[in-house]
Amino acid sequence: MTFSQDLAGSWRLRGTGVDIAATVPGCVHTDLLADGRIPDPFLDDNEHAVAWVGRQDWTYERDVSWDGPSQERVDLVFEGLDTAARISLGDTVIGETRNMHRTHRFDVTSILAGRSGPPAPTGGRALKVHFTSAYTEAERVRDIVGPRPNAYPEPFPFIRKMACGFGWDWGPTLVTAGIWRPVRLEGWSTARIATVRPLCTYDGDAGTLDLTAGVERTRDSALRAQVLLDGRELAVLDLPASETSVRGEIKVPGVTPWNPIGHGEPALYMLTVMLTAVDGTVLDRWQQLTGFRTVHIDRSADDAGTRFVFHVNGEPVLVKGVNWIPDDIFPSRMTRERYELRLRQAAGAGVNLIRVWGGGIYEDRAFYEVCDELGLMVWQDFLFACACYPEEEPLRSEVLAEARDNVTRLSPHPSLVTWNGNNENLWLRGAHGWAGDPGGDLSWGAGYYLEDLPAIVAELDPTRPYQAGSPWSGSWEHEPNDPAHQTFHSWEVWNRQDYRHYRDSAPRFVAEFGWQAPPAWRTLRDAVSDEPMLPDSPGVLHHQKAEDGNGKLARGLAPHFPAPATTEAWHYLTQLNQVRAVRTGIEHWRSYWPHTGGTIVWQLNDLWPVTSWAAIDGAGRFKPLYFALREMYADRALTIAPRDGGLVVAVLNDHPSAWTGELRLEHRDINGAVLSSTTSPVIAEARSVALVQASATCPVAAGTQPAAPVRAANRDAALVVATLGEARAIWFAEDSGYADAGLTVTAESVPGGLDVRLHAAGPARDVLLQADRIHPDAVVDRGFLTLLPGESTVLHVRAPIELDPGSIKDPWVLTDLSTVLNP
């Protein structure tokens, strides 16, 4: 039986002038931080003060010996080396690596058996992993293959490493090195299981398991692979002597299919593969949860262009997605508990799909296991983003091996529903004119995305659809980011246009769009020591990585609000604008389902404290956008929006049963008094949208004149209210002119925090309670909310310590739009 010996824990880290204790898995930055050798790179502009770390070479070292039973073979296995590494054991160099995204295995049997060089004083052998600076390696490769254009002035396309570690428009430049995933010795005899690739599909009444197992041998002898599902034997597959792989296609009746959130149970089964000798001796075991489902993307042509609609188990699925970046700039710090927390938060916001973006990493097994358990679909990018990538050696073979490794590794996970060739590379080459830049006439990655990667997926994972890129219109017949064809990235809005321009079109699938806002107040305050802290003070600007990011924030506010008078007002209004922008996009595009197959918001999370598009900031605090997503992505929701010259109520029903009831429409004046009220029966069939006219005329088409208000047919109406059951939507004609809402606020101490009761005498628009202003660890259960005259609600604030009810009266803890605009 295979025996594993963990080599995690205490190592030594050595570099120029450095010899300190280190922890594996980990990275140079986290070890230097733990030893007090570098300041916190998240604070102020310390990112610059630690830039030298990424320019140095580093060596990790410890003594190892084989402490397990006698075996014919002992391997040294690294699940992740970051990145350009030379590994030596004793006096022998056993290998070199050039890829952060692969597992590496080395036969060290003879060395550990004492047949190669003298032992270390401990009786083992000195294991050294020497890391060449990623800059040095990338620049070496660039000199071989020639320069290539990219979106950032860093050499990330020339090394197979997490691209965003070189800096992005939301991330710092912190170029890591280290043993970032587990390392172990593994002993075995006769044979071991090298790979298991289970492709599980469902055809409506039974599952099919197409299983391929690869083995590595020390001797030629007949073997068997016993396949079990939840302990029940499905098949025994024979491996004749000298064969190194076996495949079986097995029908599995009676299984429950895996379904995404909102479409049924995400059923999982424990799949076990036992490798045995003919006499029944168990040589190795592989075990993992998996599930049965069938995935298809409808990319057929119609009168409007080309569809892009996900189907799981034959049923169309409205995608309510978020883009995922690495949750920490130092991914070795990620734990299963942190993955589970963040992914449960995503599911709690109504999300049903996570897109793992191509400038990050293939995430840890724990990430995909939690998605499997929750019913979260995963869209997995291959790791190429915003650049031209060389297709020559020494990179080509690494790219292909990396793809094969990870397609195989992730194949058991039913949550993984599509492979995507790259992020924006097919689009940006033309959009940014890269073909005319230095190196633009050289290979740039098209061969990977259009030939190599689809061939690998077709060979190793034909059960999942592949797409060449995001955005991608399906062929060169159309511009890659054509909204009429397949996937679309909406970045003219935010970069150059007001968010009301989201309503100008109905793309077939919106795979990226978003709007910036600063992080939670406490997160920003903890990261920036500026006094006073201003929107344009040095520390705040350092934690704004987007090109002209603060300028875009200001231009985004201008059509809607006066210039903020204080930093606190700027913080509140930019958070509000982020919510309004994303809400405008999602609700508009949802109203076009299934013409528009879904949305994937940029982005769920951050990897450090920064002003960004995220819903959850770099300290793990919810921005108001998080709570708004919960409303926008609810199975049943209402929205009021301009369409065809009037106001329309869209009844959004992503539920397996019809939504019926009496839709109540009210036109109210600026004080909230009802001017007119009507009710009418409405029915939105299962998984559909129903449209109801809210007013016959709408004098200004939103989006064409962004600064102008939009009024209902009743010229005295300042707001329109639509109610259906528990769901409500409100359309405001203007942001200003509302009097003091007459909010009554009382706070009561309860176990674990405060219950805050609100009552409004007049319209209380966009009330926000910022719990982190009371205590750094305090949380609240709502974001922006609006109360109409006479309405009340309770906000629940929770914290690890007892809170003073009077703190609710502290400045900016609780405020509303009228108070901010009329201080």
Q: What is the H or E stretch that residue 639 is in?
A: strand 636-643
Both structure tokens of 64? 């190892």
What is the residue type of 772? D
Q: Are the C-beta atoms of residues 327 and 338 closer than 8 Å to each other?
A: yes
E runs forming strands in 644-715? 646-653, 659-668, 674-684, 688-695
The one-character DSSP state at 243 is -
Catalytic residue among 424, 568, 631, 666: 424
∠343-369-519 over CA atoms, to 5°? 20
∠234-237-238 over CA atoms, to 5°? 155
Cβ-based neighbours of 611, under 8 Å, separated by 6 or more: 516, 517, 518, 519, 524, 540, 543, 544, 546, 549, 550, 553
Q: Is 424 a catalytic residue?
A: yes
Residue 346 phi/psi, 5° resolution? -60, -50
Both structure tokens of 515? 């709007």
Residue 466 phi/psi, 5° resolution? -115, 140
- By the 10 Å C-beta count (0-12 exposed, 13-18 middle, 19+ buried), 675 is classed as middle
Residue 90: left (phi > 0), alpha (psi -120 to 50), or beta?
Answer: left
Other CB atoms within a 10 A radius of the CB of residue 36 amount to 8
Q: Are the C-beta atoms of residues 527 and 39 closer than 8 Å to each other?
A: no
Using alpha carbons, list the distances in angstroms from residue 448 to 97, 103, 468, 471: 21, 21, 9, 16
d(CA 689, CA 679): 19
Residue 511's nearest CA partner among 633, 599, 383, 591 is 599
Q: Are the C-beta atoms of residues 200 and 209 closer than 8 Å to each other?
A: yes
Residue 579 phi/psi, 5° resolution? -65, -45
- Annotated catalytic residues are 424
